[in-house]
Structure 1
Amino acid sequence: MNEKMAHPTDIRNSKALLRREIKSRLAGTTDAELERQDGEIACQIVGILNTAQTAQTVLMFSPIRFEPQIASAFDHCLNGGHQLVLPRITDAASGAMNLLRVDALDTMVNGPFGITEPDPDFCPPVDAGSIDLAFIPGWAFNPQSGARLGKGGGFYDRLLANPNFRARTIGVAYSDQLVPDLPIEAHDHPMDAVLSPEGLVEVEK
């Protein structure tokens, strides 16, 4: 089913409900199953990086709870000839974040929300326009349309809306985060592909 835009209030309510449903699903999944899915996803990311030699600058994310734990792929990105870029939250209230280049994983520090972030004293800023490939988290994705349901903070919405940001975007999801229909608003930007333990699905344009 293709997503349709409804009244903004109805959409926001539908998004909030779906976030609760997804959170409940993931909370009911065993740690062993999530770790299995983490391994599948990380292996696929490594495979994507191996074949994306022209993607010099790669944006990843430092996962929090209920996000695929992809940090094991950071080393492969660094050692595979790519530049690793990670976000750093600068203003949680407004959903502002900077993108910083990470040359060594020991330059990471604990940031807001328990997120491990690049230390700005050691990690230089990167312009959004220089990103070639971006792995994007979210609460839910429709792998057919590429629609993404974010966490509600607007961090990635602002990045995706940046006119200089032209990277290939891949949404990263657990199996329970794949849904056939998503409530969307005008500012929601679809992914180019969706990656899950089931594989990589390219979105038809």
Structure 2
Amino acid sequence: MREDGTKTSLRARLLAARAGRITGTDHPVAVGATETDGAATTARRILDLPEVASARWVAAYASLPGEPETGRLLRRLRGRGIRVLLPSMRPDLDLDFREYTGALIAGAFGTREPPLGAAIFELVQADVIVVPALAVDVHGRRLGRGGGSYDRALRRARPDALIVAVVHDNELVDRVPTEAHDVAVHVVVTPRVTLRCGTSDGAQDSYSR
């Protein structure tokens, strides 16, 4: 299926902004301390979600350069005794999910994933699924990188699993164009906002700290 041009142009703009974040060209000052503080706050926001507090299994991901950093979140999830699953790219661009026990190896397209010997579990095991995004809107519509890997994988999630997208503050937007195969998220987390999506006005169940 051919992708909507608006979606393609939005993705290109957001990827360029992420590239600038990596090199520091989109910030007049160094971002190291700010990024570290943002990662800590984002991790706390996710851990404070009641669905995460009661979870036995959480599927998450190891962040790419330019993405909100997830290493702190992964460590704190495991520190709470929560079992963590991370994606591993299949040749057909779908995802397997392997248990994360602290070690990561290089994966496809610059990703990091558990070693090949790590146990594979079905995504249906996860009580909460934390996913990457380039942008999310207030209704939970998510823009990914265009490969469709998460849209395919999320269709295998439990119906009651909570799906959480993590983005930078400026990547929570008013509207993301969608297609029939796109899977919406239930919660968006940024360093400044935790937003419950899917209500009639897109913000009724939102809250921030």
Task: Give the TM-score of the pair, scaled to structure 2.
Answer: 0.82
Q: Deviations over 1:127-146 (max 9, x none)?
A: 1111011111011110x201
More displaced, 69-78 or 25-34?
A: 25-34
1:1-205 to 2 correspondences below 5 Å: 12-26=4-18, 27=20, 28-30=25-27, 32-33=30-31, 36-37=34-35, 39-49=37-47, 51=50, 52-91=52-91, 94-103=92-101, 105-106=102-103, 108-121=104-117, 123-142=118-137, 144-162=138-156, 164=158, 166-205=160-199
Q: Output the CA distance in 2 between the equivalents of 1:184 and 1:174.
A: 20
Give the superposition deviation at 1:17: 0.2
* Unmatched segments (≥5 aa) in structure 1: 1-7
**Paired positions, count:** 191
Q: Cα RMSD between the aligned structures?
A: 2.1
Which one scores higher on RCO, CA 8 angstroms, separation ≥ 6? Answer: 1
Give the superposition deviation at 1:36: 1.8
Task: Give the TM-score of the pair, scaled to structure 1.
Answer: 0.83
What residue identity is the alignment partner of 1:19? R
Q: Output the CA distance in 1 between the equivalents of 2:149 and 2:41.
A: 26
Change (3 A) 1:135 1:46: same
Contact 2:164 2:189 in 1 (8 A): yes
* Unmatched segments (≥5 aa) in structure 2: 200-209
Contact 1:159 1:165 in 2 (8 A): no
